[in-house]
Structure 1
């Protein structure tokens, strides 16, 4: 039951430099990026006007530190090479560069009368609604340090006001993690501060990444490029924002729950009407209409990019059809009245006609992806084939707000296929195919050996056929992970694919892969595990489900154990059973358990967080053991531990 077992958050407090310097863009990459410049409407500057509209103040330096002096957010690293004037470098897709330029427009902005945003202080925006006496804060960023800096900034510019309410738009951590930077929990307990969220928020906020947290956390290093230096050859932009902050993520439970669309609240004189959108961008999410201001907060259900139907770090596939349906409901409900829409990422949009047109394109982006994927699926195409032939019509393809800076049409179409059809392509050869390392040995043998494969791949690299070279060299590296020539050619290939990528996560994935091929798999990098608030809000059932996926079957084989657990502070009791190498839990207690544990949830939290060892907790009496203590020790010995830094680009 050690705290490192639950990797809910992945943050980085230091960049890794390259042992092998990045290489410049090849002519093939320069040509590919020039096509983007020639194809998209770069002369359209409306987004730049909107992103700068309402600027009240801008801090000269946006570098935020924690109490120990560690930097948790540094916009200055990007300012050194991303400006509004600089053209896109050869090593960056021009469309992604444009998105990075827009996301670098930072400061305190007035969205409309009484609504303000601080942008550029984290991956997400923090929004302040001016009530009669204080601030209503929407989505307090990832880290308490960045949220506090934003609150201090707006108070210094517009006058000191207390926070009287917080609204969590949804259950992703960049929308609640900074809450303790702006709110004292005692004020929430005393009723001085209201925290509003939608039904199921706490469960989903805590469970996000628990079961598969270790694998998701490792893959998030790739998706967000968290270890990459900040320069034109490395980390440039994350699509939704520049990157993620690395301070302490916190959580205070909501005190007011939105159950359905149409629920209304008036807080500190501000009337709000909510649209409940479960199963859209998040398992639980709410948009908010401000009728007195004709302003619509869209949470993350619509941003100025295509979002993910399946995030590259791994998650459950989202429902593109349901998502588009909620956007249609938004249009029908408030489309005739809305004068400004704003959200938790990117910049606002003004004007009823432009907003409705924007909503229609956002709606149809997801509907088209769904409908055309399913159409092609029913024609017999598989996911990889669909992603190759599906294309948006010009009305969506040439529209900036539906470009693939975060999600992409290629991987979102595969996600829709996966939602309906799963992993199996239908071809019998894919039913029981060899795993990558075993298949690689045979592929390389059939290619005529490693040297022959590399020689042919180099020729294709010179022709700019990077997707094919990546496929070939993947097999060479998996067949022989000690092949320096193979790894270096594959790294060079990933690098060029990264330079061409329009999606921030795609760029990060390719460049992190190149980095690890050249320099090896990292062993550290500032990754953190679950924050204390996340652990404290994890119910026992969620913990037991997580322990179940850690059972080592060979150690549990033939064992039949029963453990009663009595949480004295929760007045809850459970029985854990080990049978058939499976851990189950129930509230129907065993009459004859092998061992009984009596403890508080707080004591278990301390063990989870590593504040105290299990042995010391037992010795100190924080965990009381009755019965056969060896049974409990045997159970603990059955639990697997996960290596966070597992290999990805090598076997």
Structure 2
């Protein structure tokens, strides 16, 4: 069999498996049918350019995903049906979520991974989660202003979580003011926000960037053979990430949560310990801070006038967590009896309908239950259950999946161990032949596993011949691609396909996702 190159067409086995999956896919529910509900204006530009010295660089491309918009789950054999279906959820534009007597809630979706949520206040705007890049936040706010003819200033910002996709675009909100941030701007964040943001984006910045690069396919071309969707949204933006230090912390001892004797009647809900009733520019809110797992700093909120409950979401690399399920159970208990609209930092909102008046409660219940559900690795399970070898693309895939599932991956083996393994198995050539047999039997995970020591040992001079190494890399890349096509989770697909690319092109890999954030690093060390 001739070793194929990457990118690859799906094999007959992959095509049959994905078509069978499409045949068994449940019918699309109301969430898919309402993905465009409230649309006021779609994007009016094809791309969002970089603000840096290379303005030709593209931070976000709206047209890239046109191929998935009308795709049927059974029409794209290189994409699992569930990934196609998930891709239909993520529409781009300015949406009105709900309106009341004094305030309106809008979302700008599909301009980044997360949603930019806007609440109109008495004299300005309250912005919840200002996206991940300066450029996308600037573009999203501009589209909102153009669509609504609202020129009111941003009066406050709320970070609901410590992932960069929730705060990285904050300075872009003030682009039309010459990047001058108002001195009286209020920035709210949950307790532990700064410490966790610094840990993820500064202390562990390079590792975080590598994992996000794989999970969100930032170096993949958007196509049926590459990037399609990333579960929470299309992907992450790759512009300039910025930061503003919170002025107000929600949670902890200071300031204390609102006491029972101080609980205002306007909340319309029963007092519960740990809730904060506050007012921002005339907007009355109930804030619920709590610790999660992937992002310990997390904040849900409720708008009593509009009866809207808003969730922070699981985070960029969020994993199943009993702590987060407990937090969401408290959200359900506090707000489900009165909430009539549910929105989130990711995806489209939910509203009750004639057939289901209790839909928001069911949505909150599902969010809680999903918080402890471990995703299924499918055909890649055997591969992801092993630690693999250090500094290899497949090790990074395993690290991504370990983060997404909350599992202990174990210590990676070293290249010297890989070399010894090859010797005990009769040499690299025989190992490649064994991998070929696994490939021929459609066991792509086994083919990748068998080839792992060959790829690792090839970093040692003369351990593997050039011809054998090339054959091993081509075969492993092809097997990884087939596993990517079979993956039913967007981020696993992205990681596998990125590894397929990287195994063919060994050497220094430059991630597109930022490895550090200057504003955040400065905030972490105010003496500098």
Q: TM-score, normalised by structure 1?
A: 0.66
Report the counterpart of residue 44 of structure 1 in structure 2: 28
Question: Which of 500, 508, 521 is 1:514 aligned to?
Answer: 500
Report the counterpart of residue 435 of structure 1 in structure 2: 413
How far, CA to CA, are the matches of 1:115 and 1:356 in structure 2?
Answer: 20
Question: Is contact 1:294-1:340 (8 Å) kept?
Answer: yes
Whether 1:138 and 2:128 are equivalent positions in the alignment is: yes
Change in Cα spacing, 1:34 to 1:71, as seen in structure 2 (3 Å) is same
Whether 1:73 and 2:59 are equivalent positions in the alignment is: yes
Whether 1:149 and 2:139 are equivalent positions in the alignment is: yes
Note the C-alpha offset of 1:116: 0.5
Note the C-alpha offset of 1:137: 0.6
Alignment of 1:328-407 (within 5 A): 328-351=329-352, 353-367=358-372, 369=374
How far, CA to CA, are the matches of 2:33 and 2:78 in structure 1?
Answer: 26
Question: Is contact 2:138-2:172 (8 Å) kept?
Answer: yes
Question: Is contact 1:36-1:94 (8 Å) kept?
Answer: yes
Report the counterpart of residue 296 of structure 1 in structure 2: 309
Note the C-alpha offset of 1:82: 2.0
Alignment of 1:158-557 (within 5 A): 158-159=148-149, 160-183=151-174, 187-189=181-183, 191=184, 193-259=185-251, 260=257, 261-301=274-314, 308-310=317-319, 320-351=321-352, 353-367=358-372, 369=374, 411=402, 415-416=406-407, 418=408, 423=410, 435-480=413-458, 482=466, 483-524=469-510, 526=512, 528-539=514-525
Note the C-alpha offset of 1:141: 0.5
Q: TM-score, normalised by structure 2?
A: 0.81
Question: Is contact 2:137-2:172 (8 Å) kept?
Answer: yes
Report the counterpart of residue 110 of structure 2 in structure 1: 120
How far, CA to CA, are the matches of 1:335 and 1:65 in structure 2?
Answer: 41
SS at match of 2:358: helix
Aligned residues: 466
Question: Is contact 1:271-1:290 (8 Å) kept?
Answer: yes
Change in Cα spacing, 1:101 to 1:78, as seen in structure 2 (3 Å) is farther
SS at match of 1:250: coil
Report the counterpart of residue 101 of structure 1 in structure 2: 88
Change in Cα spacing, 1:367 to 1:143, as seen in structure 2 (3 Å) is closer
Report the counterpart of residue 582 of structure 1 in structure 2: none
SS at match of 1:287: strand
Note the C-alpha offset of 1:97: 1.6
Deviations 1:367-418 (A, max 9, x none): 4659xxxxxxxxxxxx989979xxxxxxxxxxxxxxxxx99998579625x3
Note the C-alpha offset of 1:20: 5.0
SS at match of 2:106: strand
How far, CA to CA, are the matches of 1:357 and 1:408 in structure 2?
Answer: 33
How far, CA to CA, are the matches of 1:386 and 1:115 in structure 2?
Answer: 42
Question: Is contact 2:477-2:501 (8 Å) kept?
Answer: yes
